[in-house]
Amino acid sequence: RSDPRLLEQMIRNLLSNAVKYTNEGKILLGCRRRSDKLRIEVWDTGIGVPAEQLQAIFEEFHQVDNPARERTKGLGLGLAIVERVADLLGHTVDVRSRPGKGSVFAIEVPLGEHVAPSPRLDRGEVSESAHQTGAILVVEDDPSVREMLALLLEEEGHRTTTAEDGRRALELAARRAIRPDLVIVDYNLPKGLNGLQVVAGLRQTLDYEIPAVILTGDISTDTLREIAHGGHLHLNKPVKAKELTDLIQSHLAETRLSAQANTRKLVEAGGDGPRAPIMFVVDDDGAVREAMRDLLQEDGRTVEIYASSEAFLAAYRPGREGCLLVDAQMPGMGGLALLRRLHSEGTRLPAIMITGQGDVPMAVEAMKAGAADFIEKPIGRDELFASIERALEHTRDSAKLAVRQEAAATRFAGLTGRQREIMELVLAGHPNKNIAADLGISQRTVENHRAAVMKKTGSHTLSALIRLALAANPGTPSHSLP
């Protein structure tokens, strides 16, 4: 009885470890039954481990004295993860070794009863209790626990983002790089922020009540009361896989049902109250339209899809609150032409342009034409939701918009004249080689100036730099950007 994917990863780690430490000889993978357990063993004829280090090798970053491996020696996180996953699954891991002769690593897994496979269900027969997936943020300072949790969640189909401490998590939130359905956070974190403070900061930054699971080895009454007072779920360390996955499934199923119920209420209410913004998806690719509709409806949003700009214009009625997601390149009227048409007619519908990866000139033109934001293909779920929130916020609060404009302009104030010049050429879509030739400088110098621009403005990606430049001076031609 085990999780087949996590068990496979444990065996892979043991085999990888054996290969690293066996310069010659052989490696054997086998299994044998022992009473009510299956014992999986990895034998090698490698360097072996001294008796006094048999426990230490399961610690993070432990290094075995091994001149044969020179500067590459060390067991890293591989064995630490094996032990943590074993604890998670309730399995036993042991090792026997003789220096100079080799080692035997073993995992003991309880045998399960044979169960006939369940009949396959058609998509239409799947009930509300079907397996749920979501976007999950893991905040954990222990690298082996962090990697183990990420592995477990990704194997369950979740979209996982990790952060090593609270400051990193809040930085991701401030950049709108994440919009999690759930946060899993260690109570005891470094750098002055505990798990509860991190969750509070995330909720304030992202402006919604993010559900959280607090992991802690501290079971004191005061700690548990503090966690409960914040309305959080909590699990004791070491966390068991089934306990965690069951909790996540229960939460996501409840959240989705609640979102669907709210959507139904809004539809039934008709025009008698505030209506949720409608997501207008315009893309000539049917697969993209369907995928985006499914993602947005799964999030409880109302969606209308159109195969062309012309079809959207024929159906759209001004005054409907919503957000337009439109592909830049389409037959007939493209996304850019559609934005210009809406702008000329005085329609102030928040819009997001979907561009090809690295298409800087198109992204700049889209935002000059009135797009509140842009996203590059391939489109990620978290990126899509974060972009929608930016677009809606962009039009709802002009005061916030002015503050953002001033803050963005301030971040450009420290650039030198040469750095501004290079930034303008980058935003115009010129490659480094062409910029170097035009300015009569080396390509390396261009790269250094470009890196300085990114660092001084706090832009981690070119997309972020484009947004910042246009936020600092919206509607200004690219040659006059800050």
Widest Cα–Cα separation across the chain: 81
pLDDT score of 445: 92
Confidence of residue 204 (pLDDT cuts 50, 70, 90): confident
pLDDT score of 120: 37
If phi > 0 it is left, if psi is from -120 to 50 it is alpha, else beta; for residue 74 that is left
As a whole number of Å, the CA-based R_g of the chain is 27
- With pLDDT > 90 as the criterion, what percentage of the chain qualifies? 19
Look at residue 456 and tell me whether its pLDDT is greater than 70.
yes
CATH code for the domain defined by 400-472: 1.10.10.10
CB 456 within 8 A of CB 410: no
Give the CATH class of 4-110.
alpha beta
Look at residue 452 and tell me whether its pLDDT is greater than 80.
yes
Q: Across the chain, what does the average pLDDT equal? A: 79
Residues of the chain within CATH 1.10.10.10 domain(s) are 400-472
pLDDT score of 44: 92
> Out of 3.90.870.10, 3.40.640.10, 3.40.50.261, 3.40.50.2300, which CATH number does the structure's domain 135-260 have?
3.40.50.2300
How much is the pTM? 0.43
Which whole number is the average pLDDT over 310-324?
Answer: 86
Which whole number is the average pLDDT over 449-459?
Answer: 87
pLDDT score of 57: 73
Count of Cβ atoms closer than 10 Å to residue 269 Cβ? 11
pLDDT score of 128: 41
Digit-coded pLDDT (tens) for 82-140:
887 788 788 889 999 888 889 999 999 988 765 444 333 333 333 344 577 888 999 99
> Out of 3.40.50.150, 3.40.50.2300, 2.170.120.40, 3.40.50.1820, which CATH number does the structure's domain 278-396 have?
3.40.50.2300
Digit-coded pLDDT (tens) for 434-443:
899 989 999 9
pLDDT score of 70: 41
**Mean pLDDT lowest for which of 3-17, 37-51, 328-342, 347-361?**
347-361
Digit-coded pLDDT (tens) for 260-300:
555 555 445 544 444 568 899 999 888 888 888 888 887 77
Residues of the chain within CATH 3.40.50.2300 domain(s) are 135-260, 278-396
CB 353 within 8 A of CB 362: yes
Structure token digits, residue 71: 């500067």
Residues of the chain within CATH 3.30.565.10 domain(s) are 4-110
Confidence of residue 71 (pLDDT cuts 50, 70, 90): very low
CB 478 within 8 A of CB 472: no
